[in-house]
Every structure is written in C-alpha cells, then in structure tokens.
Amino acid sequence: MSPSEPMGPLERRYRRLLRLLPADHRAARGEELLGLLLDLDPGRARPSLRQAVGVVGLASRLRLPGAASLLLTAFIVAVSTEAAATAYRISTGAITVSLGSQFPIRNVALALLIPALLRLAAAVAWILGSRRITLVVCGVLLAYSLATGGLLVVDLVICVGLGAAAAWRWWPAQRSRVVLLATIPFAMLLWTLSAAWNMDLSFGWLLLVTAVVALLGAVGGLLPRRDSGGGEPQGQPTSTKG
C-alpha cells in the first residue's frame, strides 16, 4: 500500500493488533508482517480469527522471555538484598547470631557477609549480561553452601533459575539494565525499613520486594534507548560478557 492511499479498515485494525508485538520487533518487521497479513485477508473489513490468533501467539512468544527474565532478575535482587534487614537487626541488637562448633568460619559477620556478597555479585553480573561470570559465581555460592553445612533452598533456586535462563538466552533487556542496577540499593532500603519497623520478614515480603523491583524494571524497559553508532541490531539477543 502506497503512502498516498487512504488506510482501509482492515489495515487500521491490523496495525492496532500489531501493537501487541514488542517495539523492537515492530520496528524491524512490522511493515513486512502487515503486508503479509493484508495479503492473507483480501477483501475483509476485519482480521480473520486465524490471523488474529497467530498475531497474539507471536506476541506471547516474543514477550515471554523478557517477562520471565525480568521476574527472575527481580527475585534475585530481592533475595540478594535481604541481608540488609539481617544486618540492621544484628546491629541494633534485635537478634543475635551464633555459629555451631562445626561451622568452618568462626567470625559471624564474615560468615553472613560471604553468601550475601556472592548472591549480590550473581545479581549484578546477571543484570549486566555477563552469563559466564554469573554461572561461575553461582558455582562458588553452591560450593560455599555445601562446605558450610548444607545447601540452602534459595541458593539452589537462584542458581537453577539462572542456569536455565542463561541456556535459553533470557538475560535482561539492555535498556532496563541501568534501572535494575538502581533497584539494588532501593531494595536494600526496603529491607532495612522492614527491619526498622519490626515487620515479619516472611515470604510475602520477599514477593513484595520482587514485585516492586519487577515493576521498576518494566518501567525502565519502556524508556527510549540511546542508539550509539556501534549498537547492536534491534531484535537481536545481546552478547554476553565474561
């Protein structure tokens, strides 16, 4: 269809339907896909059910990796920053921590700091797209957990989730990385406030912090991306570091 021709009802409705697709995909292949859909539904005023279902299915497949990666990243940020609440309660004397006689590290602060830093390092490396570094840190975290008396379920969930996401190339979108990094100190603040207000650090609070981080990350993904001369093509997976 040439630019001088008026837009028909079928094209107008298909353009609205194609808004379900990610912006990068629309920019790269939107017009091509629109032309194909118009050729498949000649003479109609509305999209056929078959083609509409196909567009919805394509949008779901394209958006699922980004949504899954964002939720996983938000969960990892929430888990890795939970140590801020524990540190606050220890510093104020609200709780005391003692180590068993069989624990290989005798310093309480160091014993709590090592896994917290490893989880935080895994979160930062994952947000930055450093797949190999993320997997190495996960391996060290699992080894530390096993060496210090037992594997924590949360560490196993984090490492298995990151391994699966890395295998499927579901790392965070480049345009939301800065915002996701900024959510780390914000999540620490939320955990510290929860401890200061004597709130129960239950699984529900973990889900709340995860939801807040995911929401901020989603907003960051909507921000316009600054294109540089050597940027990667839109719609292509970002390269991994490390």
- pLDDT by residue (tens digit) across 16-69? 988 888 777 888 888 898 888 888 888 888 888 998 898 888 888 888 888 888
3-state secondary structure of 25: helix
Place of tokens 């196993």: 156
Contacts of 162 (CB under 8 A, 6+ apart): 72, 76, 122, 126, 134, 135, 138
What per-residue confidence (pLDDT) applies to 3? 52
> What H or E segment, with its residue span, contains residue 16?
helix 9-18
Does the pLDDT at position 228 exceed 60? no
Residues in the chain: 242
Is the separation of the CB atoms in 187 and 77 below 8 Å? yes
- Percent with pLDDT over 70 in the chain: 84
- pLDDT by residue (tens digit) across 79-115? 999 989 888 888 887 777 776 656 666 677 788 888 8
- pLDDT by residue (tens digit) across 202-217? 778 889 999 999 999 8
Query: Which of 100-109, 138-147, 171-180 shows the lowest mean pLDDT across its residues?
Result: 100-109
Nearest alpha-carbon partner for 159 in 185, 182, 140: 140
Is the separation of the CB atoms in 119 and 157 below 8 Å? no
3-state secondary structure of 152: coil
Give the residue-averaged pLDDT of 66-75.
89
Q: What is the DSSP string of 153-171?
A: HHHHHHHHHHHHHHHTT-P
End-to-end Cα distance, the chain: 47
How many other CB atoms are there within 10 angstroms of residue 136's CB atom?
15
What per-residue confidence (pLDDT) applies to 75? 93
Give the residue-averaged pLDDT of 150-164.
85
Nearest alpha-carbon partner for 54 in 33, 80, 68: 33
What per-residue confidence (pLDDT) applies to 41? 83
What per-residue confidence (pLDDT) applies to 150? 67
> 235 vs 161, which has greater pLDDT?
161
> Which range scores top for mean pLDDT: 21-30, 123-132, 228-237?
123-132
